[in-house]
Chain A
């Protein structure tokens, strides 16, 4: 995305994570689609440069199953291995070490869950894992609660990006705690990316207007009645919200303020 500087010059407004530049501020998940070709098309339409992927066993009995890498080229789109489905530090570390082994992936998303129903992050295990992974040279983008104190601790542990939830994963509830997100924004210069719980494009606009650096969306696109249109909607929402944020909104005032001059009224 480009932004117009005051001098009339255009400049790139990249998302920078661990010194790597990305032109899109939208990150999309690759799960829950009807099939791989639907997933690939939605991702293309979303304009995302980064996609989250899961690490799972190869199906050794059915080799005809389509492979993600055959549909989404990791040379063109950055794969962000994720630890979705891990409920403790040990499993998360194992998953990401394996992910790195597949092809040298160092930029990863850490997600350690604590409860199978609400899917909230288990922050003690998350913190522990962040410390270990950072020491091992990983660049860790960390899924976390919308808790400013925990976000600070993750930052101090070497996280490369803070990724607080908007609401429970897949819930579509939108941003439940705007104040906390604003507090986290005010205290960190790390990339702040809203992860999980968005339901519609306006939620992404809100995230960006709160000053977030990006959003991560999966279910809201994959499970929309028209995933391709929703992918486009999110693409534009993120651009729109970002532009709105950097443009500086007007002050809120209690009474009306006429848009037309009051002088010279006939």
Chain B
């Protein structure tokens, strides 16, 4: 299967071509209800992750809450 390169939280990652955002999140074992996701600078609707197909050079940001003042 052909691979593409994307960036997840600033780190280069190789994923299968035609895989979607939901597959990526599942593979990373991330609990969806505890995070927010941004794709190329745009916030994505967490309910529609399977409709977002990953493309070469996509930038994905996954954030959550941590301790802070």
By a CB distance below 8 angstroms, the chain A residues around B36 are: 55, 98-102
Partner of B67 from the list A30, A57, A98 (CB cut-off 8 Å) is A30
Contact flags A88-118 to B (C-beta < 8 A → 1, else 0): 0000001001111111000000000000000
Q: Does A84 sit within 8 A of B, measured CB to CB? A: yes
Do A57 and B61 touch across chains, with their CB atoms under 8 A apart?
yes
B interface residue count range (under 10 / 10 to 19 / 20 to 34 / 35 or more): 20 to 34
* Known A101-B46, A102-B35: A53·B9 in contact at CB below 8 Å: no
Partner of A219 from the list B11, B28, B38, B69 (CB cut-off 8 Å) is B69
Main secondary structure of the interface of A (DSSP, over half): mixed
Do A98 and B63 touch across chains, with their CB atoms under 8 A apart?
yes
By a CB distance below 8 angstroms, the chain B residues around A84 are: 68-69
* Known A67-B34, A101-B36: A56·B46 in contact at CB below 8 Å: no
* Known A56-B63, A67-B34, A69-B34: A61·B11 in contact at CB below 8 Å: yes
> Which of A55, A102, A170 is most buried by chain B, counting CB atoms within 10 A of its CB?
A102
Bound-complex Cα distance A60 to B28 (A): 7
Main secondary structure of the interface of B (DSSP, over half): strand
Bound-complex Cα distance A191 to B51 (A): 43
| Pairs A–B under 8 Å by Cβ, sample size 23 | A30-B66, A52-B68, A52-B69, A53-B67, A55-B36, A56-B66, A58-B9, A58-B62, A58-B64, A60-B30, A63-B28, A63-B29, A68-B64, A68-B65, A68-B67, A82-B68, A97-B43, A98-B38, A98-B43, A99-B65, A102-B64, A218-B69, A219-B69
Chain A residues at the B interface, C-beta cutoff of 8 Å: 29-33, 36, 39, 52-58, 60-61, 63, 67-69, 79, 81-82, 84, 94, 97-103, 169-170, 196, 218-219
The 9 tightest CB contacts between A and B, nearest first, are A54-B68, A29-B69, A101-B36, A218-B69, A30-B67, A53-B65, A98-B36, A57-B9, A31-B68
